Chain A
Amino acid sequence: MAKQQQEVRDLQEGSYVMIDDAACKINSYSTAKPGKHGSAKARVEAEGVFDGKKRSLSQPVDAKIWVPIIERKQGQVVSVDGSDMQVMDLETYETITMRVPEDQDVSPDDNIEYLEMDDQRKIV
């Protein structure tokens, strides 16, 4: 999996983080003041990029954490076959098969944007 390590303190709302081995987009980031004891902690609430599941973590701000590398790509729909569609990557011109999202109508020649991490993709 494409990922890199960061400190919790470098996370921010809108960026990505791995929680429970799932790539998540951060919805909220808050920190607790530590007073005279312990270290500052951060709390992250996030939503799975590919499964939509809400997850949270609470860690010291200097803890190391994995951040997934997610690419935003452009593609063009080549053909639609039932619930699957063929999409051509507009950079590499390779053709990939993707599931048609339930809430969207797509037809050939549509340009779409999607997020890609390894072999997981999600249309935005």
Chain B
Amino acid sequence: MFPGATDYRTDGSDDTGRAADSEDANFVVVGAPLDASTTFQPGTRFGPRRIRTFAETFDDYDRRTDQYFSDCGVADRGDVRAWDDVDEYLEWLTGTLRDVVRDDAVPLTLGGEHTVSLAGARAVEPEVVVSLDAHLDLRDAYDGNPLSHASVMRRILDDTDSVEELVVLGARTGSEAEWDRATEADVTVVAPEDVAAWTAPDSLADRDVYLSVDIDAADPAYAPGTGTMEPFGLEPREMRNAVRQVAPHATGFDVVEVNDRDDGQAAALAGKLLREFVFLKAADRS
């Protein structure tokens, strides 16, 4: 249970297996502990649990927006258990997230490897995806696997009908083919040094946006608990600024690639950015 959230699965489940209070939630946390294609350090299967655990110390009250997290209508449906058939799992996860969207709530997915963002994008059907990431994730396949975490943005761009545009904030590495793909008109890459001054373009204002936060966008000094660390990254405050810019336009959110190989730094940052998203979005609604 994410601290400050209510249980999405109450005792009053109706005969369709949905929770009785699901329709009252504005946001629904869904854990997606997929850990199938991690290519260096594994452990994203522990990500959702870590993020929930290290969010326990955060105050309920947010001074900046004058709101209590526990008043924002956040529910937690627990984890969608992952198994090794990624294609099948993504289909199942997409359906679960689509239920959240149909209940007029914003899904908040806790990864899990970045591949789970494909389910988020399929469920939310955004026109624009904004991704905070050290990597472009635009490979057509990695080690022959088109559903690798290193290919997720390519899958979202090429295989999700609704998506017209991708903005990658903080990207600092990729293969030559990925950088070539990134030069096309539907991709914008904002270098780490430019993220602090980045503001959401007007083109986001009237379009549905999906925000994906890969925790490795942060410099490894701040978030060592992730699978593929990439130095020269973002400051946490820069990531927070980006989340604040995008949140008012976003209809779906995820934070991914947190593993258990640090003392909680990556998970704490992930939980804090999720809360930042909720506070901004909730303030924007009221």
Contacts and interface: CB of A to CB of B under 8 A. Distances in A.
Contact of B81 (A20, A35, A45): A35
A107 B278 CA distance: 56
B16 A56 contact: yes
Interface stretch (A25-33, A79-87, A92-100, A111-119): A25-33
Interface stretch (B58-66, B87-95, B181-189): B87-95
A119 B83 CA distance: 45
A59 B80 contact: no
A57 B81 contact: no
Contacts of B96: 43, 58
Interface in B194-210: none
Interface string B67-88: 0000000000000110101001
A54 interface: yes
26 contacts: A19-B16, A20-B16, A28-B91, A28-B95, A30-B88, A30-B92, A30-B95, A31-B88, A31-B92, A32-B80, A32-B81, A33-B81, A33-B83, A33-B85, A33-B88, A34-B81, A35-B83, A43-B96, A45-B95, A45-B98, A55-B16, A56-B95, A56-B99, A58-B18, A58-B95, A58-B99
The interface size bin for chain A is 10 to 19
A43 B92 CA distance: 7
The interface size bin for chain B is 10 to 19
Given A57-B17, A58-B16, A32 B92 contact: yes
B16 A57 contact: yes
B102 interface: yes
B10 to A, nearest CB: 15
Contact of B91 (A30, A55, A56): A30
Nearest to B88: A30
Contact of A59 (B17, B91, B92, B99): B17
Contacts of B95: 28, 30, 43, 45, 56, 58
Nearest to A41: B17
A30 B83 CA distance: 14
A55 B95 CA distance: 11
